[in-house]
Structure 1
Amino acid sequence: MKLKEKSTDLWVYDLLKEAELNLDAQGSNIKEIDEALKTASKRGTGKVGFPEYVGIVKDFIIVIEDKSSISMHEKRTEEEILAEDITSICDYAVNGALFYGKHLIKNTSYTKVIAIGVSGNEKKHRISPIFVNDRMDYYELPEIETFISFSEDNIYEYYTKEILNENTDFEKETKEILRDAALLHEDLRNYGSIQDKDKPLIVSGILLALREIEYGNFSIDMLTGDSKKTDGQKIYDAIKDNLNRANVSPDVKRDKLLNQFSVIKDTTKINQIDTNLGKTPNRHYTEFLYKSIFQSIRFHQSGEDYLGRFYGEFMSYSGGDGQSLGIILTPRHITELFCDLLDLKHTDKIMEKKIKEWIHKPTLYITQSA
């Protein structure tokens, strides 16, 4: 049995290493936890007791008990709650982990413990986390396959989602993106009667124009509803400036690209002041995109992801998946795979290359935003 227990300990160690968790085995280098373990005997003798692994991640204590056999994973009472008698605590992984979790809450200044019972081996196993709070209440959490959720980068998101049962920042953000995409789609239709094929051009064109704000060539306040130089013309001019600044070449390509945005200046309805809005629809769209999208993609840590999720959702309103409009949005997992395979860095430049070896094969483009 001891040999099997040792094998399980080593497998658990590998899981910890994979998740980049530095927990101590059979003791603790943290003075406060070490002192608490001096009275942590599972038999209730008041003597020393050592879980398999214990340590700190952020402001959480992580404590792990493991057993070699899945049959020794957990013991429950007739009421289907975890048994807390001495035999169950000593013989079962989850029960032992819960014991140590409660003991550490009671005897340290920490207020959050994640106690994890592990049984089995790499091929067949169970991993059951339990959250223990400073009132000694505990909550059994869904079983997991790895410890990656408890890494420094992930533990707060795990705590928010699985323990507090709140939406994570990512989920809140996604809901806002879905809402914004739907609202903009409706406004383009209601205030401009814009055709589906032109909606992506208005959105992308305005986002390009907004990039000229920092260079002093464009501002939302410029959009006054002037009938001589329309708001659309001002946006169009800013788009032209931005394409020039980006060194889009050759000239024929830049001019062809710019011409696609003519709908912004040539559509009369969106350049006239709407009585309900009190401004032109073009200004309304620009204000909306600046507040909801542009600031997020400019100041957000993963702005490209934010824009990608928005644009993907927006396209679902504006033409299915975009293919009917000639727009192909490569799935995120595909772009990530090829970027990993190519080992791309932020300093790399990606160039389109037409593959002509097979006449009947489609051209392949691999692109990545810098």
Structure 2
Amino acid sequence: MAIEQYTENLTMKEMNCSIGKNDFGYVFPQGDVSKVDKIEKLLKQAGGKPKECDLDDYSKGGNGKAKPEFVITFDDDINTIIVVECKNSVKKHQSEGLNKPNGYAVDGALYYAKFLKQEYNVIAVAISGTSTSNMKVDTFYWQYRMEMYSKMIKAKDIILEPKNYLELVKGNKLQKAYSLDEIRTTAIDMHNYLREIKITEAHKPIFIAGILIALNDSDFSKTYAALTSYKLVMQNIQNAIENVLKESDIKSSRINYIKQVFSTLQENTKFADIPLGHFKSITWYIEQLELKIKPMMDYADSTVDALGVFYHEFIKYSGGDGSGLGIVLTPQHLTEFMCELANVNKNSRVVDICCGSGSFLVTAMSHMFKDANPDEVENIRKNGLYGVEFDDGLYTLAIANMIIRKDGKSNIYKGGLF
């Protein structure tokens, strides 16, 4: 296998699609777009990638036509396409002047995009590296016939499913199917990176849940990527947590406890020293959770407690006091079995007096929604589900889980089952 094919295979795996027809549209490899006359014409106009070419130079490159790694079209948005350029080495990710399309991923992706944007809105994705742990990814949006592109900051160093690139451009909520492999990989990576900067076992789950809660504040989710300092990001997370939890009737003492954890983390000099937008920075964690884990929790057809599974994988690799936490995730097949055995339906009220991250409540909510009309759904969210949890970290995870699922009042109570 040619070394660059590893990057191409990684791209298809992370995008969760395959060459040819997919449920969202079509993936064309190596510029093989003869089925789409308009794209074919534009790639011929671009020609082969030249060694050097300024972005404002629209003269044809080499002979033949341009051959990007992938061109992706959509059935329900025929005016937008994705173009992908891959390089096997991160050293070949981007040149200083963005003027070497033949040698660098970013330069090549933008070279294709400047021709394709004459007829389309173009999402240009540049990917370098052969594994998720060492890859670099930059994504750009070049609107139809606009003079200049914009950079999609949130998609830095992350590969999305094609439909989610569209949703990100439109500012819509992302959704993706449950993937244990992706949850496990993300959890292990985050756990190891947080250990490197000496985040305590007790603070880790609250850090994860706090960010997921903050992402439910629309102002924070829209603006965090543009914040200019570590301190500003941490302060904005705390403000967003307070805004969201106050709306959910969470006691001020619990809000202050969660905020205090982030206030403590704010003083972590190792964390503060990682430049924003870089791998392992605070904004990297926010982006990973927003674009990888939260979309699984938002997935309409999922009864799976994705956050609970994520946390289970997260603590499984903990050393020290993490190994003695005694936290065991209730398996999905058991929560399903118990809800079926109890005949949980839209008229039920469900109480879990030792709710953990909320696995039973998540499954029960799905069963209760099945035959409910919109008014009944709203009543279930507000009055149908209750949980009690003593552990600080799990309590925070549980309220995050229910708030993200728009449960109305988040009827999760901090306390012992007796």
- TM-score, normalised to structure 1's length? 0.41
Flag the structure with larger Rg.
1
- TM-score, normalised to structure 2's length? 0.37
